[in-house]
Amino acid sequence: MKEIKAQHYVDTVIFSIDHIIRNLKRELKQKIDSLNIGITGEQFVVLDTIDCFNEIYQQKLSELLMKDKSNTTRILKVLENKGLIARSAGNVNNRLVYFLHVTDKGKKIVSDNMPKIKQFITDIFENISDEEIDLLHVLSTKFQSDLSNIQDIN
């Protein structure tokens, strides 16, 4: 087992990762907000996530984005009222669920703005080499796997 050398929580890699992620999310949402696309950065992230998955329903979306059900419900209502998503009834484990789908109008918002968002993300990693990004991805995958294993045990 690795010895933790940090004397305080703020000296740990967990604190560093959390700090980086919170700042990245804040900056990304602000960037999306500045595009004036008619939805907030948070709503865009939800819209794009739904667009990524063929069959996703609210509970899975909440889990994936680590949002509580009431926050997810609020965002989905806004997107649905704007005509950016639609729901269709389906079954999962003999339970009625409503699958979420991005409408053509929603797909246009995602496709029109994704190049700008990709460029913003590219700019963030400007001073990090491809090898370092690959290593970061490998390490984050290992962290996630280890966390999943711990959760499975508990």
Q: How far apart are CA 77 and CA 70, in angstroms?
A: 11
Instruction: Let me know if residue 2 belongs to a domain.
Output: no
What pLDDT was estimated at residue 54? 78
User: Which structural domain range is residue 79 located in?
Assistant: 9-148
pLDDT over threshold 90, residue 68: yes
Instruction: Let me know if residue 3 belongs to a domain.
Output: no
CATH number of domain containing 45: 1.10.10.10
Identify the CA nearest to 59 among candidates 46, 76, 42, 72.
72
- 131: burial class by Cβ within 10 Å (0-12, 13-18, 19+)? exposed
What is the SS3 assignment for 102?
strand
Instruction: Let me know if residue 154 belongs to a domain.
Output: no
Instruction: Let me know if residue 4 belongs to a domain.
Output: no
Angle CA(56)–CA(58)–CA(62) in degrees, nearest 5?
A: 100
What pLDDT was estimated at residue 99? 95
Instruction: Let me know if residue 88 belongs to a domain.
Output: yes
The whole model's pTM is what? Answer: 0.82
What pLDDT was estimated at residue 12? 87
Q: What is the dihedral of CA 26, 9, 14, 49, to 10 degrees?
A: -30
Instruction: Let me know if residue 1 belongs to a domain.
Output: no
Instruction: Let me know if residue 129 belongs to a domain.
Output: yes
Identify the CA nearest to 45 among candidates 34, 61, 22.
61
How many domains does the chain divide into? 1
Q: Give the model confidence (pLDDT) of 2-51 as tens digits.
A: 777 878 888 888 899 899 989 988 998 899 889 999 999 999 999 999 99
Instruction: Let me know if residue 15 belongs to a domain.
Output: yes
